[in-house]
């Protein structure tokens, strides 16, 4: 994260009724009335610090950050570039505060680049809010928020992902799936399994070379997932997968680094093929959901990319993707 540094008051604007003791403020930044910035704080370029904001010493603020009225940033808080903090959002830095009793060090709270925090949200100590995440107004964030996630409520839970509104309808009981077979995310596609039904029940089947686009070397099931929990949140370097929700329903977000889509799996007749180097997240599990996953290779920990920024860097650096 780059930061502008300036010791010349003429390079940034300070309202006459603001108190600014720091000299580490980037050009183009505006600090408005009744804000108070302590000497150790570092503020980047082109930021907008609104009325009544308090910024303590051990605070680092990137470029183009907007902090609306009534926000306090305490020691240990870092806001990366392009972060938005809504009015009266509350940050904390001590998980067990007592008057006149200070911890050896304050918890570190990190808000990654491009994230937004809604009005009156509360951020508990030590939390990381991922890149481009969206924290809803009034949410109470008690644990880390993944990249691009939208969280609301108390405690905050994931209700969606930025730019991935579900575009697909539930497949009718007898007709074929209404979902398009090719998605906008690179290589990801819907696979229709064969269906045979009579008075004895129904059978869904996938044959190699037809519904199954690869030879499975492993399978596993995911079940008994609490509805607020999220699975996945990783990409595979070379592994291929086919996901089928054989009972109940769940949603899958797929992301190739440029496009992001959400698919609802609610029928054992519908499979979702995920090629290598696709970031995938599974969430919105119904209480009875059972997700069956076919994999093209045995488990290998080195196959996983679990950090979203690392995933984006690999995609950007490889002409293959």
- What count of other Cβ atoms lies within 10 Å of the Cβ of residue 247? 13
**CB 141, CB 156: distance < 8 Å:** yes
**Residue located via tokens 């229709």:** 192
**CB 291, CB 265: distance < 8 Å:** yes
Rg over alpha carbons for the chain, rounded to the nearest Å, is 24
Considering only CA atoms, which of 73, 155, 153, 86 is closest in space to residue 115? 86
Active-site residue (options: 15, 36, 113, 234): 234
Check residue 98 and report its DSSP letter. Answer: B
Question: Burial, 22: exposed, middle or buried (Cβ in 10 Å; 0-12, 13-18, 19+)?
Answer: middle
- The DSSP bridge pattern shows strands 42-43 and 59-61 to be parallel
**What does the alpha-carbon distance between residue 48 and residue 35 come to, in Å, rounded to a whole number?**
11
Region of 46 please: left (phi>0), alpha (psi -120 to 50) or beta. left
Report how many helices (DSSP H) and strands (DSSP E) the chain contains, helices first: 1, 33
Residue 36 falls in the annotated catalytic set: no
Close Cβ partners of 317 (under 8 Å, ≥ 6 residues apart): none
- What count of other Cβ atoms lies within 10 Å of the Cβ of residue 175? 7
**What does the alpha-carbon distance between residue 280 and residue 301 come to, in Å, rounded to a whole number?**
16
- The DSSP bridge pattern shows strands 128-129 and 109-111 to be parallel
SS3 assignment, position 89: coil
**Per-residue tokens: 159:** 């209700």
Active site residue ranges: 234
């Amino acid at each position: 994260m780059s930061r502008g540094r300036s010791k010349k008051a003429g390079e940034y604007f300070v309202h006459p009724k603001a108190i600014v003791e720091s000299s580490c403020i980037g050009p183009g930044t505006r600090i408005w009335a009744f804000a108070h910035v302590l000497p150790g704080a570092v503020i980047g370029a082109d930021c907008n610090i609104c009325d009544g904001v308090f910024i303590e010493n051990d605070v680092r603020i990137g470029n183009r950050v907007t902090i609306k009225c009534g926000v306090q940033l305490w020691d240990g808080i870092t806001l990366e570039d392009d972060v938005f903090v809504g009015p009266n959002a509350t940050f904390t830095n001590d998980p067990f505060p007592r008057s006149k009793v200070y911890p050896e060090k304050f918890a570190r709270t990190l808000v990654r680049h491009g994230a937004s925090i809604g009005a009156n949200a509360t951020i508990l100590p030590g939390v990381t809010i991922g890149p481009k995440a969206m924290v809803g107004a009034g949410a109470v964030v008690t644990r880390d928020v993944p990249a691009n996630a939208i969280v609301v409520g108390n405690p905050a839970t994931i209700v969606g992902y930025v730019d991935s509104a579900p575009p697909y309808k539930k497949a009718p009981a007898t007709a074929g799936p209404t979902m398009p077979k090719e998605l906008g995310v690179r290589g990801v596609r819907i696979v229709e399994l064969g269906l045979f039904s009579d008075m004895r029940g129904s059978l869904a089947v996938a044959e190699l070379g037809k519904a199954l686009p690869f030879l499975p070397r492993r399978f596993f099931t995911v079940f008994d997932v609490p509805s607020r929990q999220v699975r996945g949140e990783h990409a595979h370097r070379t592994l291929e997968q086919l996901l089928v929700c054989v009972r109940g329903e769940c949603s899958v977000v797929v992301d190739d680094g440029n496009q992001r889509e959400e698919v609802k799996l609610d029928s054992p007749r519908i499979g979702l093929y995920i090629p290598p180097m696709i970031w995938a997240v599974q969430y919105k599990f119904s209480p009875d959901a059972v997700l069956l996953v076919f994999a093209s290779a045995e488990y290998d920990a080195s196959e996983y990319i679990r950090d979203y920024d690392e995933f984006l860097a690999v995609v950007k650096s490889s002409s293959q993707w």
